Amino acid sequence: MHILLVDDSQDILRLVQQVLALEGHRVSVARDGLEALQKVASQRPDAVILDVNMPMIEGTEVCRRIKTSYSIPVMMLTVRSEQVDFQRGADAGADAYLSKPFDIPVFIEYLNTMLRLRYGKTV
């Protein structure tokens, strides 16, 4: 599957990109909300993994815009971990919400569940 990974942290991009590649996914990267929306429109990824705290356009707004125009599953992956943050993600349409720091096996489980619910299978 093609996954768009959106984060402004180079360390997170590197780590998650490696994990996704090991899981057999093709990965594109965006470093801010505006670039994420442009890549969703041009590349039509199968899923988006999205940070909340980003330049240009904040992640929950990016999620809301994606969900308004496309039926692409979105996982929020962020340091924001208060109940209100989970609710904001849900209100924006996020299919999954995982807070940083995160365990790799839990991340993979969330991702596979999200993909299975949307597509009926994972890669």
> pLDDT per residue over 12-35, tens digit each?
899 999 999 999 999 999 999 999
Q: Which of 24, 71, 64, 11 is nearest to 47 (CA)?
A: 71
**pLDDT > 90? residue 85:** no
Contact indicator for 104, 62 with CB cutoff of 8 Å: no
Give this prediction's pTM.
0.90
Q: Is the pLDDT of residue 123 over 60?
A: no
In this prediction, residue 78 carries a pLDDT of 83
Is residue 59 within a helix (H) or strand (E), and if so which, with residue range? helix 59-69
**Position 52 pLDDT exceeds 80:** yes
Give pLDDT, residue 122: 52
* Mean pLDDT on 89-108: 89
CATH of region 2-119: 3.40.50.2300
Specify the DSSP element, H or E, that contains 10: helix 10-22
Residue 79: pLDDT over 70: yes
Task: Report whether 93 contacts 70 (CB < 8 A).
Answer: no
Task: Tell me whether the omega of the peptide bond preceding residue 105 falls within 30 degrees of 0, making it cis.
Answer: no
Share of the chain above pLDDT 90, in %: 67
pLDDT bucket at 121, cuts 50 / 70 / 90: low
